[in-house]
Structure 1
Amino acid sequence: MKTAIGAAKNITWSMTLADFKEITKARLAISVVFSSIAGYLLGATEISGLSLLLLAFGGYCLVGASNAFNQVIERDLDLLMNRTRNRPIPAGRMSVNTALFLGMLMTVLGLVTLYTLNPKTAMFGAISIFLYTSVYTPLKTVTPLSVFVGAIPGAIPFMLGWVAATDEFGIEPGTLFMIQFFWQFPHFWALGWMLHEDYKRGGFKMLPTGKKDRGTAFQIIFYTFWMILISVIPVFGFTGRLHLSVTAGVIVFLMGLVMLFFAFRLYTKRDNISARKLMLASVSYITLMQLVYVIDKFLWRWI
């Protein structure tokens, strides 16, 4: 009997943890935390383990809260789409009140934690959660411009890390913001292309032309080009303390060309397979680019 009760508790705990990960979109939240840590390492003159932990915890809380609020707002629409109908709220495994409580708790914890680093970090965190929840989410069913609005909170984490490390906002975090801002468009439009039919069931307007056509594919190429250009600007010494060696710049440029290649493939083929390859290339790009920036900084300092 005790064994059966213990097994039941383990199953219940596993399901609860799985729903928490789903309501906070744990994989997305972890990738956001990774961007913040990369920004912190780029800005820091001395690395504090405690600051990194606070940044990671506060960042996860705010991303998790944003996603919880998003799923509360979109719960009826989530029921209409294959990719979202099994989320905790539409599937009936979590109540709206529970999700709201989690969202509010994580908002408070996240902002307080980031405030202990410095007020500017908390301010940008607050701007991010406000834009994502109160502007981006409602606009998704109104206009494709929602992606432009959503790209702002999506680009804040890379910049946020620098601000957390320096308590300053200037050309350096502004450049980090712009890199991730322009990256958002090819990434999310590739995802929107793949899920276009499912998004239509929920009434979401995610593609810039509303169609899987050459116009959308051209805009993906356009924004990818600007992403590459801004990513290599630190090579030329115009971005204050944010440096990038020529070797690292070439590596980042070549990685960007790979992503641009897949963008052109989507333009010529206009199929879901090409969109998926571009989406995967974009995920690889943002992660590897941030790693190259961080490694280059510490190699340059060591040399």
Structure 2
Amino acid sequence: MSSTKSSVSTASVVTDFKEITKMGLSLSVVFSSLAGYFLGAETISFTALFLLAIGGYFMVGASNAYNQIIERDLDALMERTKNRPIPAGRMSVNTAFIIATSFTILGLITLYVINPKTAMYGAISIFLYTSVYTPLKTKTSLSVFVGALPGAIPFMLGWVAARDSFGIEPGMLFAIQFFWQFPHFWSIGWFLHEDYKKGGFYMLPTGEPDKGTAVQIIMYSVWTIIVSILPVFGFTGDLKLSIVGAVLVFLLGLVMLNYALRLFKLRSIKAAKQLMLSSVFYITLLQIIYVADKYLKLVL
């Protein structure tokens, strides 16, 4: 009996740890960072890759833990978040704070070992996410704009980790992920609108899931597509994209844009969820295409 309780308790601790650090989201951010590293690397260091993956997870996990500490009372009001470890009473604020601070310190040290610039941008990301974006979510819909800044850092961070410098190339990677976040997060804000209202969050540009919001989603989807194919024109330094790569990225963008237009037409929760999923596929496949495009050109 005691062994059964022990295994259940251990499983619960592991589950709560995954939830407080938002493991799924954190791993997707690590994926972006690694993609950026492969794009920037002139010679691949597996040590740097490992440190970037671990350090990146620490930093994102810390941001998510701080976020859940700050928003614990609001999380308790929403269906989507009321069962998170802190509002559900399974984890104390002190325990979450120990996890968050430990992850911050370990993350900064790990990224600093790669190079100081990588650690600096990681620190900026945590600061903007926890100290600016999180408090603004209950004040103004401009919080999404602010949140897009730390959200756009990971793709760029990988390049900085590889080159120990900031220039047009990581700036371009930053821009791609920056513009992409608007259709992505506004689609989430659309289908979770009623739940967000319970917590007092302002996530949509007009405040409502209406035509105005849908138009802005379309606009930012178009901007995302345009920015994503700019490297094909040859003025983004060492960040290059072949015509074939650009065509593939453009076609991916048209799929996402189609779902954005569909949301404008239907203005339904289902259409918003479809757009959200298509945006996830877009950024993931874009990063794969960029990396494959670089290394296939080297092979061929």
1:9 shift after superposition: 1.9
Aligned to 2:21: 24
Mapping of 1:132-151 within 5 angstroms? 132-151=129-148
Aligned to 2:9: 12
Report the Cα distance in structure 1 between the residues aligned to 2:29 and 2:106, rounded to whole angstroms: 17
Which of 40, 44, 47 aligns to 2:44? It is: 47
1:187 shift after superposition: 0.1
Aligned to 1:235: 232
Aligned to 2:60: 63
Which of 181, 184, 192 aligns to 2:181? It is: 184
Structure 1: runs of 5 or more not aligned: none
1:5 shift after superposition: 2.8
State the TM-score, normalized to the length of structure 1: 0.98
Identity, in percent, stands at 66
- Residue identity in the other structure for 2:236: T
1:7 shift after superposition: 2.5
Report the Cα distance in structure 2 between the residues aligned to 1:119 and 1:289, rounded to whole angstroms: 28
Structure 2: runs of 5 or more not aligned: none
Aligned to 2:103: 106
Q: What SS does the corresponding residue of 1:209 show, helix, strand or coil?
A: coil
Aligned to 2:287: 290
Aligned to 1:156: 153
Show CA shifts across 1:65-88 (max 9, x none). 000000000000001000000000
Aligned to 1:272: 269
Aligned to 1:202: 199
Which of 112, 116, 119 aligns to 1:119? It is: 116
Aligned to 1:302: 299
Report the Cα distance in structure 1 between the residues aligned to 2:64 and 2:295, rounded to whole angstroms: 34
Q: What SS does the corresponding residue of 1:296 show, helix, strand or coil?
A: helix
Which of 125, 128, 132 aligns to 1:128? It is: 125
Report the Cα distance in structure 2 between the residues aligned to 1:238 and 1:15, rounded to whole angstroms: 51
Show CA shifts across 1:166-201 (max 9, x none). 101000000000000000000000000000000000
Show CA shifts across 1:192-222 (max 9, x none). 0000000000000000000111100000001
Aligned to 2:31: 34
Report the Cα distance in structure 2 between the residues aligned to 1:11 and 1:54, rounded to whole angstroms: 32
1:282 shift after superposition: 0.2
Report the Cα distance in structure 2 between the residues aligned to 1:301 and 1:292, rounded to whole angstroms: 14
Report the Cα distance in structure 1 between the residues aligned to 2:190 and 2:286, rounded to whole angstroms: 24
Which consecutive aligned stretches of 4+ in structure 1 deviate over 6 angstroms post-superposition? none
1:48 shift after superposition: 1.0
Report the Cα distance in structure 2 between the residues aligned to 1:186 and 1:292, rounded to whole angstroms: 20
Aligned to 2:257: 260
RMSD: 0.5
Report the Cα distance in structure 1 between the residues aligned to 2:110 and 2:16, rounded to whole angstroms: 24
- Residue identity in the other structure for 1:118: N
State the TM-score, normalized to the length of structure 2: 0.99
Q: What SS does the corresponding residue of 2:152 show, helix, strand or coil?
A: helix
Q: How many residues align?
A: 300
Question: Is it true that 1:226 corresponds to 2:223 in the alignment?
Answer: yes
Q: What SS does the corresponding residue of 1:243 show, helix, strand or coil?
A: coil
- Residue identity in the other structure for 1:66: S
Mapping of 1:84-103 within 5 angstroms? 84-103=81-100
